[in-house]
Amino acid sequence: MNDRAALGSRIRRFLMEHLVGERNLARNTQQSYRDAVRLLVVFASLKTHKKVDDLLIPDIDADLLRAFLHHIEEKRKCSVSSRNQRLAAIHALASFIAERCPEYLDWCARLRTVRVKRTAPRPVCYLEKPEIDALLDAPSPVTKLGYRDRTLLLFLYNSGARAEEAAKLCVEDLNFHADAAAALSSVRLHGKGGKVRVCPLWASTTAALRNLVAGRSGTERVFLNRRSEPLTRFGIHDVVTRYAHAAMNRVPELRKKRVGPHTIRHTTATHLLRAGVDINTIRAWLGHVSINTTNIYAETDLEMKAKALGLCVVNGKRSPKRWRDNPDLMSFLAQI
């Protein structure tokens, strides 16, 4: 077999060298690319009647790629968004191969003719103040796990942290100040792509976190499970959804919403915006690279739109004046 045509060796280099060493992508992104490539090669193996290790680069043509995308939508019931994410990973693999093997430039160009599908943006789901209050009050602070869970929910709402960021949070990332300067307490969050940002902590969050991590070393994770092992992002998701379900009894409106850690993140951004915090500060608070990402909160908040509309209300009807009714030229020019 022609080594330059072998697909398997190129995939290994793409995943192990390019994504990690050259692109320095986040671990979750690496795994997403890996999953897309794995699904593709399994599908290609079935279609070409070849073993996965025997697949060649030309075996993955544009027609096979279109069939694969149709397969994951129809058979695997993936959303259009997931379909587009898989396609982006495969396009990245094709570009990687073409850059290192110029003879496959035309092959790469044909694969890239397969376009992403347009999809309507989903409205941002966030919680109103009574809803987030009910969620924060759902855990019982009397038990050890209940206290941890309430502290976790309060921290997520305070910081707008992603589930992954909360899971990786270490004690040394917390910067506490004495009671007189409690407003200066902060947390250092490690976000996507190794980016680090600092967020202020409320006095209530500071007190809860201080009690939670008392006596622990700086390298320990802040949020631990019942076996004193670090909570994963999946564990954090379970905590949020469990208490969201419990809070539905108090606030029935929650039944209409799908509540997870990212919903709390959206809630933080929306409430900061309503409080008058400027959009660029919120962008830095959430760790967004582009302010366009943060602008979605200004577009989806109905309360702010209603206030803006109220400023434009016309009081009463004004009968237009005819220019002949005011013979003074300067007055006429001033009123038109």
Catalytic residues: 162, 192, 262, 265, 288, 297
**Exposure of 124 by Cβ count < 10 A (0-12 exposed, 13-18 middle, 19+ buried)?**
middle
d(CA 78, CA 85): 10
Distance of CA 208 to the CA centre of its chain: 26
What is the Cα–Cα distance from 198 to 22, expressed in whole angstroms?
27
User: 38: how many CB neighbours lie within 10 A of its CB?
Assistant: 13
Q: Taking the CB of residue 80, how many other CB atoms lie within 10 A of it?
A: 13
Assigned token pair, 229? 């092992």
**Six-digit token string for 155:** 């921290």
Residue 136, both tokens? 């924060």
CA gap 126, 139 in Å, rounded: 20
Report the distance separating Cα 111 and Cα 33, nearest Å: 17
64 burial level (CB within 10 Å; 0-12, 13-18, 19+): middle
Cα 303 from chain centroid? 23
Spatial separation of the C-alpha atoms in residues 245 and 247, rounded to whole Å: 5
Contacts of 233 (CB under 8 A, 6+ apart): 162, 163, 164, 166, 167, 261
In the chain, the amino acid numbered 87 is: L
